[in-house]
């Protein structure tokens, strides 16, 4: 029998998301603040399952107790070339750093490489899809060190574009990075180690705060995202 499955009277405890037992013997106690959880999302069967990402409430109702990590969206910006140029280059500027000239009809990979060459970025920090220009916009996504962060909107210059009708380049923020959540729920601290049956508004529970995690085995609606991977990466090893 798989020792990661433990049967209780009404529920099968599935801890198969644990890639090792490291940390389970030194898990910290916490109190779950039930009003922070949504019944039809977090405990539709009456149990809050183990493996969900939790965060400490820092202000307001439930202060110093724990709720479900609210998640943080990663920044997405769209770069659009207008005026149907037939030649030339454009540049993108992020936080005062400007790329080398990018061909008007560059592929998504070429735009990514130009951004990754900036001093503040690496190839692990940015993705680019879409293109090639000028007919199709480029979709720039920020990840790695910038996962879940609010990134300053890039600016663009199309002064070196040629042909067409007054060609130019615009940048728009498609998805703002960060979270609209307040009170600390946007800062992940660890995982709920064992499932908890919901009886009262607040219930004691163990916080799994270091170890190894099998991401694919985390429960549905666990809240795990790129930002959680980045923030918790110093304490956990993640296996996909």
**Domain range list for the chain:** 5-70+181-239, 76-175
Quick one: which H or E segment has residue 47?
Answer: strand 47-48
Q: Which pLDDT tens digit goes with each residue over 228-240?
A: 998 999 999 999 8
3-state secondary structure of 16: coil
Sorted by sequence, the CB contacts under 8 Å of residue 201 that are 6+ apart come out as 33, 34, 35
> DSSP alpha helices (H): ranges in 70-182?
108-116
pLDDT for res 2: 42
Burial (CB count within 10 angstroms: exposed 0-12, middle 13-18, buried 19+), residue 234: exposed
Q: Which pLDDT tens digit goes with each residue over 31-85?
A: 999 999 998 889 888 899 999 999 999 999 999 999 999 888 889 999 999 999 9
Q: Rounded mean pLDDT of 217-234?
A: 91
Q: Whose CA is closest to 102, among 34, 28, 154?
A: 154
Q: How confident is the model at residue 217 (pLDDT cuts 50, 70, 90)?
A: very high
pLDDT for res 44: 87
Whole-number Å distance between alpha carbons of 45 and 34: 15
Is the pLDDT assigned to residue 128 strictly greater than 80? Answer: yes
Burial (CB count within 10 angstroms: exposed 0-12, middle 13-18, buried 19+), residue 146: buried
Q: How confident is the model at residue 7 (pLDDT cuts 50, 70, 90)?
A: very low
Is the pLDDT assigned to residue 201 strictly greater than 90? Answer: no
**CATH code assigned to 5-70+181-239:** 2.40.300
Q: Name the average pLDDT for the chain.
A: 89
Give the residue carrying structure tokens 């070196």.
160
pLDDT for res 9: 42
Whole-number Å distance between alpha carbons of 203 and 195: 11
User: Model pTM greater than 0.75?
Assistant: no
Give the residue carrying structure tokens 């770069």.
79
Whole-number Å distance between alpha carbons of 55 and 98: 37
Cα distances from 229 to residues 34, 168, 169, 172, 238, in angstroms, run: 25, 37, 34, 27, 8
- In contact, 115 and 94? CB cutoff 8 Å: yes
- In contact, 211 and 196? CB cutoff 8 Å: no
Cα distances from 118 to residues 22, 121, 176, in angstroms, run: 39, 5, 21
- In contact, 125 and 142? CB cutoff 8 Å: yes
């Amino acid at each position: 029998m798989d020792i990661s499955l433990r049967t209780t009277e009404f529920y099968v405890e599935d801890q198969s998301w644990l890639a090792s037992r490291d940390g389970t013997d030194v898990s910290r106690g916490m109190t779950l603040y039930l009003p922070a959880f949504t019944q039809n999302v977090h405990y539709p069967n009456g149990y809050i399952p183990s493996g969900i990402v939790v965060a400490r409430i820092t202000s307001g109702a439930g202060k110093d107790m724990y709720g479900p990590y609210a998640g943080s969206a990663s920044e997405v910006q769209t770069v659009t070339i207008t005026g149907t140029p037939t030649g030339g280059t454009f540049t993108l500027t992020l936080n005062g750093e400007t790329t080398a000239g990018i061909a008007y009809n560059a592929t998504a990979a070429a735009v990514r490489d130009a951004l990754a060459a900036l001093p503040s970025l690496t190839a692990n920090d940015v993705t680019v899809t879409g293109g090639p220009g000028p007919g199709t916009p480029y979709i720039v996504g920020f990840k790695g060190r910038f996962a879940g962060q609010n990134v300053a909107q890039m600016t663009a210059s199309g002064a070196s574009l040629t042909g067409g009708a007054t060609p130019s380049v615009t940048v728009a923020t498609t998805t703002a990075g960060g979270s609209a959540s307040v009170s600390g729920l946007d800062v992940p601290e660890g995982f709920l180690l064992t499932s908890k049956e919901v009886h009262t508004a607040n219930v004691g529970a163990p916080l799994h705060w270091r170890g190894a995690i099998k991401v694919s085995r985390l429960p549905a609606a666990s809240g795990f995202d790129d930002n959680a991977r980045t923030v918790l990466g110093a304490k956990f090893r993640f296996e996909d």
